[in-house]
Structure 1
């Protein structure tokens, strides 16, 4: 399977040398489950798109520091492309910004949450077990860095997992789009370094709480298997 990564941001320059860019993080995560996967990266933040929608088998939209509601010239074309993916029923995964973008592009809504920043390890309760999921679990934990959230589902969307902090944390739209607010591609060292780098922006107390949560387990490998199962179903 060949996955097209729609890259919507760059890793902070202070961290990229140690941790790589987002497409590398996703490739590492998913190739741990299937070493035969192939990836194409499209710098959609710079206007780069596939020449044909079917030059890859599926798509993955990365996270970004940008909000889906921000006035950036590259966001409307990306929303148009997401609508095209939806019309063509192309298997698509959205992560963080990608999660919010799918909702916003298809008639839902994402906005800045009044709950503030979510950092570190968050746990989500499954609300529904879809039939494509071969290893269901009552809950799972992943790393997060977000202030924006989806607060209105698009038509055809349903919540698969949620938390008190993030009620729409894992969403499926019809049979071909799956999105997560959390970051299965993040590692604990990367999350810790990002929190430390942005300590003043996030706030001391929020960072301290987030760093303390790194003691908890995360289930990135199980979620990676879910992602691949969904794309292949």
Structure 2
């Protein structure tokens, strides 16, 4: 399987020595599912895109410190590319920022949530009815626990969408658009160590009590491997 990774940011310099950059995180993650997966990185901030969208079986976005509503030329270009993929019925998995960009690109709405920052491990209920009908959501799981780091949230879904997992904090945590786009707010590629250090690096903008609660939540198990299996299943489906 050939996957195009749309890199929408880089790990900050202070943390790269210990944790590496996002492409390395995704390579390590996918290798745990299938060592034959080929990952080609496109730094979309620098304007890098595939010459032929059909050269890949599907695409995955990284997260980003930027927001879907930021008025930046590269974000407008990314929105255009997402729309191109959708029109061509190409598979795309949006992670965090990508989950929000997909909503914006297809007529949904993204806002800075009045619920504040979501950090640490987020617990979301997988909607049973959808899981029973969707072949790629196997093996089945009643809850999806992933590391999160976000302020923005999708509050209005695009047309032809269905919510697949949700919580009170994040009602559109995971959703699909038609048969070709899968969107998840969480980060299967983040390690607990990186999440902890990322929270520490953001003490100037995240309230102290939110960080303390987020760091305590890292004691929980996470479903990073299961989510990655679902992603691979989805791209193959």
TM over 0.5: yes
- 2:206 aligned partner: 202
Match of 1:150 among 144, 151, 154: 154
- 1:212 aligned partner: 216
1:66 and 2:66 matched:
yes
Displacement of 1:134: 2.2
- How many angstroms apart in 1 are the aligned matches of 2:172 and 2:178? 16
Q: Report the TM-score when normalising by structure 2.
A: 0.97
1:147-194 Cα deviation digits (max 9, x unpaired): 000000001111000011000000100001101001010000000011
1:167 and 2:171 matched:
yes
Alignment of 1:117-132 (within 5 A): 117-127=117-127, 128-129=130-131, 130-132=134-136
SS at match of 2:73: coil
- How many angstroms apart in 2 are the aligned matches of 1:132 and 1:116? 32
- How many angstroms apart in 1 are the aligned matches of 2:158 and 2:19? 34
- How many angstroms apart in 1 are the aligned matches of 2:163 and 2:33? 25
Alignment of 1:177-196 (within 5 A): 177-196=181-200
- How many angstroms apart in 1 are the aligned matches of 2:208 and 2:170? 21
Q: How many residues align?
A: 233
Displacement of 1:133: 1.9
Displacement of 1:54: 1.4
- How many angstroms apart in 1 are the aligned matches of 2:106 and 2:3? 22
- How many angstroms apart in 1 are the aligned matches of 2:17 and 2:4? 23
- How many angstroms apart in 2 are the aligned matches of 1:123 and 1:72? 32
Displacement of 1:140: 1.6
Q: Report the TM-score when normalising by structure 1.
A: 0.98
Match of 1:223 among 214, 217, 227: 227
- How many angstroms apart in 2 are the aligned matches of 1:54 and 1:40? 13
- 1:47 aligned partner: 47
Q: Which residues of structure 2 form unaligned runs of 5+?
A: none
